[in-house]
């Protein structure tokens, strides 16, 4: 939007581009990434159940009981906290790269690639920090 001067048009209309463009994305990702985390966790449990009961011959009741015994609420909560932090990192890096773009349309792909790489590196670093913090503190 900055390349095609749409951000400039928002500023001329006295609309705050951050409030108009970034806030909805921030709220959406802050809500949806923890939801996706919950869904991925449930799909992992379901996949483990299917493989365990069909391929390995584990009794379904035993699998469910052992899974419930092994599942700790701390793991669920820390996963949701980390996913919310990851959402903030992704939105901030993507928004920053979107607002600092210079040049034409050929720079959009380069900035997108840079945003993805920087986001991945920062998410890995944040995961390392939060995992060690949760491991030693909780």
**Domain spans of the chain?**
6-137
Tell me: the pLDDT tens digits for 87-105? Answer: 999 999 998 888 777 777 7
Distance CA 69, CA 58 (A): 16
Tell me: the pLDDT tens digits for 28-57? Answer: 999 999 999 999 999 999 999 999 999 999
Global pTM exceeds 0.75: yes
Contacts of 53 (CB under 8 A, 6+ apart): 59, 60, 63
**Token duo for residue 126:** 């944040």
Residue 19 DSSP symbol: I
């Amino acid at each position: 939007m900055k390349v095609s001067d749409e951000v400039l048009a928002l500023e001329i209309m006295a609309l705050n581009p951050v409030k108009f463009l970034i806030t909805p994305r921030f709220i959406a990702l802050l809500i949806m990434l923890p939801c996706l985390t919950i869904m991925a966790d449930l799909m992992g449990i379901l996949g483990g159940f299917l493989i365990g009961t069909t391929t390995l011959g584990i009794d379904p009741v035993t699998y469910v009981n052992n899974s419930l015994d092994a599942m700790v609420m701390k793991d669920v909560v820390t996963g949701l906290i980390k996913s919310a932090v990851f959402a903030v990192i992704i939105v901030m890096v993507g928004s920053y790269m979107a607002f600092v773009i210079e040049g034409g349309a050929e720079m959009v792909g380069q900035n997108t690639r840079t945003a993805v790489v920087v986001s991945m590196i920062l998410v890995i670093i944040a995961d390392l920090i939060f995992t060690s913090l949760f491991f030693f503190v909780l």
